[in-house]
Amino acid sequence: MSFQEAIQYRTELHKLAELSGQEIKTAQYIQNKLEEMGFNVRSGVGGHGLVVDIDSGVAGPMVMLRADIDALPYADPNDPERIEAIHACGHDAHAAILLAAAPEIRKNLKKGKVRLAFQPAEESLQGALAMIKDGVLDGVDIVVGSHIRPVQDLPFGKYCASVNHVACATVEVRIDGKQAHAARPHLGINPIEAASQYIASVGLIKIDPNKSWSVKPTQIHSEVGATNSIPSFVKIAYDLRAQDNAALEAIIGRMKLAAAGLEGSFGAKASCEVTEYCPGPEYDEALGELFKETVAGTFGKETLGTNCGGGGEDFHFYKKAKPELRVLYYGIGSGAAPGLHDRNMNFNEAILPQASQLLVNVVGKILA
């Protein structure tokens, strides 16, 4: 089979781009295609998610194949007040690859079960959690995901067995002081001064130097008022990145300790809240080796690329919710440029039929 229909699927999905949680037309398109193929589709899973189960009738593990379907928001150049949705991260490609592979997976399945999961709201980090809540992991033993990679990561036509995302979080710190006239600072508690000590303290955090990590303040706001008044509060936003979940948790713990120390040194009270959180990967090494064997057997050893990555992915909530899962998440060298999340991102669609064929072969290898 040529899998050429993957290109047409991507073209049509690209035009339907919708934001996280709003994937109504996208989900309907995917459902229509799946039903035309003869699949029984469960819709409305975790919002606009779709699930299809394929059963070989022979006992074996269940493999879930996940493709995300949402797009990114950008201001319209002609009307900055208008937000438009654009597939600038390749989710249209991921859905097209899985759609094109679906009938061949069904045709060739000899053992176990396969669950096709078209997931909404990846960009908002809410889709995986919502699908988990709706039972998408029930009975699942293995989860497989993938992502097209930019030219900076992988050359066109190469594949890597591991996309090394990071654990990441947004932390918001609120420091409450005491308002006073700036001419009588001794009657107040200045949260800006306390904030500067807090930022300095966080800058001195040290964790395992063998792990990569970063902590950056990205926003700071104080109470709006007169310039000759000490404000009553300050808010600081932090972006956190860490190589693994343990490192991220260590950073958050030390940030909370630093916040608690402000009351003793300044009299200011501080809260430290994690407002966004995305776990890092915990991949199954055996599945990674199996993937490499499959790539080499399908396209040749020269198509194997080195592992790449960066950024975060809500895919990793699946493993966090069900620790016994075996997980594989691989990269597809698509020639994407100038880079992911650039509104003008584009890639070489010739990779789509290849990627669909590879997915079929990977499933066949896992369930051999």
Tokens 């037309």 sit at which residue?
Answer: 25
| Nearest CA-CA partner of 322 in 126, 122, 133 | 133
Cα distances from 182 to residues 186, 189, 194, 198, 234, in angstroms, run 9, 11, 16, 21, 16
Hey, CA dihedral for 246, 252, 256, 261, is it positive or negative? positive
341 is an annotated ligand-binding site residue: yes
289 is an annotated ligand-binding site residue: no
91 is an annotated ligand-binding site residue: yes
Pairing state between β 326-336 and 142-150: parallel
89 is an annotated ligand-binding site residue: yes
Angle, nearest 10°, between helix axes 5-15 and 91-108?
140
Task: Report the amino acid identity of residue 308.
Answer: C
Q: What is residue 276's three-state secondary structure?
A: strand
14 is an annotated ligand-binding site residue: no
Q: How far apart are CA 113 and CA 53, in angstroms?
A: 7
Residues 6+ apart with CB under 8 A from 227: 182
Residue numbers in the known binding site are 89, 91, 123, 147, 341
Residue numbers in the known binding site for Mn(2+) are 89, 91, 123, 147, 341
